Amino acid sequence: MHNATDNPDSAEHKDPVTEVIPQILTRRSSRAIDPDKAVSEHTLERLFEAARWAPSAFNGQPWAYAVATTNNPELLSAARDSLAKGNSWALKAPVLMFSLSYKKMPSKKLIPNWLHKYEAGMATGQMALQAAEEGLVFHQMLGFNPFKIRKIFNIPRSYSVLSAIAIGYPGSTEELSKKHALEETHTRTRKAIEDFSFIDSTCVDLK
């Protein structure tokens, strides 16, 4: 964080990692999912409630979610067929969710909403934190076929298909690949704050 007035030696200065909400620090994209423990509809409703309160331009709320669960085996099987081979671990997930976003402004259908993906991402981020609070695995994925998903769920062209999300309760790492099993317990790393935040300064050092 680039701020010339900030004094790290001050008695009041604390490591910010000790002051953020716990769900941010405990959330991780696990791949070990229990295939035999279903996620209840009420639990999913709490995730959607978390997403519902996300901010959006003009309160347009462009996000939507297409969901397949074990209650509809045929639909879930079709959704699983959309996943890339590298995400075969997600075939065990009792819930596959696909995030969508409406491309236009809500009250002006001919005007594009340039923020629709960004806003859907905020809603899904809130959902991820609620999932962490629920003790759920909530793993977002790029590796899937959005054209298959559009057809399976009959998604209108006015919506973008953004990401796949595997949801379930934690399971054993024994059936994961060695690489993926190691990633379940490795220490998460992130950029230093000063690498992406520029307070009262230019972004000349931004890389």
Q: Give pLDDT tens digits for 40-78.
A: 999 999 999 999 999 999 999 999 999 999 999 999 999
Say if CB 103 and CB 158 are below 8 A apart.
Answer: yes
Domain with 165 in it: what CATH number? 3.40.109.10
Q: Where are the alpha helices (DSSP H) in 66-165?
A: 73-80, 116-134, 146-153
pTM of the full structure: 0.86
Q: Higher-confidence residue: 4 or 89?
A: 89
Q: Tens digit of pLDDT for each residue in 69-112?
A: 999 999 999 999 999 999 999 999 999 999 999 999 887 667 89
CA-CA distance, 188 to 66, in Å (whole number)? 30
Instruction: State both tokens at 78.
Output: 């079709």
Name the strands in the sheet holding 137-141, side by side, starting at the edge strand that comes first in the sequence. 63-69, 95-102, 159-168, 137-141
Counting residues of the chain whose pLDDT is more than 90, the rounded percentage is 65
Our measurement of the distance from residue 196's CA atom to the centroid of its chain's CA atoms, rounded to an integer in Å, reads 21
Q: Is residue 201 included in any domain, yes or no?
A: no
Q: Is residue 179 included in any domain, yes or no?
A: yes
CA-CA distance, 128 to 133, in Å (whole number)? 9
Q: Which range among 7-16, 39-48, 155-164 shows the weakest confidence by mean pLDDT? A: 7-16
Q: How many domains does the chain have?
A: 1
115 pLDDT more than 90: yes
pLDDT band at 4 (very low <50, low <70, confident <90, very high): very low
Q: Is residue 137 included in any domain, yes or no?
A: yes
Q: Which range among 26-30, 58-62, 167-171 shows the weakest confidence by mean pLDDT? A: 26-30
Say if CB 62 and CB 119 are below 8 A apart.
Answer: yes
The mean pLDDT of 187-197, rounded to a whole number, is 85
Domain that holds residue 63: 29-187
Q: Is residue 173 included in any domain, yes or no?
A: yes
Q: Is residue 6 included in any domain, yes or no?
A: no
8 pLDDT more than 80: no
Q: Is residue 207 included in any domain, yes or no?
A: no
152 pLDDT more than 80: yes
